[in-house]
Amino acid sequence: MWFKNLQIYRLTAPWTMTSEQLEASLAAQTFSAGTSVEMQTQGWASPRENGMLVHTVNRQLLLELATEKKLLPATVVNQVSKARAAELEEQQGFKPGKKQMKEIKEQVTDELLPRAFSIRRSTRVWIDPVNGWLVVDAASPAKADEVFKLLLKSLEQLPFASLRTERSPLSAMTDWLAADEAPGGFTVDQDTELRATGEGKATVRYVRHTLEPEDVRRHIAGGKQCTRLAMTWSDRVSFVLTESLAIKRVAPLDVLKENTDSMARDDNERFDNDFMLMTGELAKMIADLVQALGGEEQQKKAA
């Protein structure tokens, strides 16, 4: 159950809410399947499918946002609307205007929605009251924003801010590659992206390719900066750091997998072991990464 992507946020005030209080606050926004005429529905679901909206292990909290969306391609709506407009033109003797076309599309959408396929996706949220982190397993900030919109509906207040560091990942990653030296506790892997800042934004990508220091330095000297860098932390977790301080492609290495598998007796215990191991390891990794980037930006942290 390891998170694949990390959108990281700092809790700006101590977390004082108990699991029971959080459960009660989320209950009003519990997920329920959408009706035949709803394009999208969202709500809190049980991370363990046991009816509980908050799963707690070792003071770490796990939430899950469920999203159900109807698949109704615009091309289908446009095709049916075009045929419907042609029929109307024949009846009334002139082409439908903008207002009529809008009404036709709305009517067609309402008619087709009950027959549209639905897809459901889940976005998991880890709240770490001990170290003050809030982490969303999302590949983009837009998906994380969906979580926060519903959290703010569910809670009276949620003091958080995006994680900001004294050094930008763009600058730090470029310097690490130029010096051919990763920060303490980390190693550089074989995937990276270097992009120019000019109008053309020329880009060079290395995928499972040994990074030759001289080649990399030549690209940097030519004005390119590192926007993505694959790294490994403490020989335990591999990931890709991006220029926006998002962490992607998170994967525990074999040493962690072996320890987890040997401890678990059943699925429930395995899930809890995985969650406890993940939160423990990632909390340390995030702290080390923040330190490698010069620490948290003091003005933002104070705000």
Euclidean distance between CA atoms 64 and 30, whole angstroms: 10
Position 158 scores a pLDDT of: 87
DSSP state of 12: S
DSSP state of 257: H
Mean pLDDT, all residues of the chain: 89
From 62-71, 85-94, 223-232, 256-265, the region with the lowest mean pLDDT: 256-265
Position 84 scores a pLDDT of: 87
Euclidean distance between CA atoms 40 and 201, whole angstroms: 37
Give the predicted TM-score (pTM) of the model. Answer: 0.83
Looking at per-residue confidence, does 286 or 301 come out higher? 286
Euclidean distance between CA atoms 266 and 251, whole angstroms: 22
**pLDDT band of 301, cuts 50, 70, 90:** very low
pLDDT per residue as tens digits for the range 152-207: 999 988 889 999 999 999 999 999 999 999 999 999 998 999 999 877 788 999 99
Do 124 and 3 meet the contact criterion of CB atoms below 8 Å apart?
yes
Question: Highest mean pLDDT range out of 26-35, 62-71, 234-243?
Answer: 234-243
89 is written with which tokens?
A: 């033109």
Q: Please compute the mean of the pLDDT values over residues 107-112 and round it to a whole number.
A: 81
Assess whether pLDDT exceeds 60 at residue 299: no
Assess whether pLDDT exceeds 50 at residue 302: no
Domain boundaries, the chain: 7-69+118-162, 74-114, 169-302
**pLDDT band of 291, cuts 50, 70, 90:** very high
pLDDT per residue as tens digits for the range 32-74: 876 666 778 899 999 997 889 999 999 999 999 999 888 778 8
Position 198 scores a pLDDT of: 72
Position 256 scores a pLDDT of: 74
Phi, psi of 224 (to 5 degrees): -90, 150
Q: Please compute the mean of the pLDDT values over residues 217-242 and round it to a whole number.
A: 95
Euclidean distance between CA atoms 201 and 178, whole angstroms: 19
Share of the chain above pLDDT 70, in %: 94
Assess whether pLDDT exceeds 90 at residue 270: no
Instruction: Work out the number of other CB atoms within 10 angstroms of the CB of residue 20.
Output: 10
Position 147 scores a pLDDT of: 95
- Reported residue count of the chain is 303
Position 303 scores a pLDDT of: 38
Euclidean distance between CA atoms 191 and 141, whole angstroms: 22
Assess whether pLDDT exceeds 90 at residue 78: no
**pLDDT band of 300, cuts 50, 70, 90:** very low
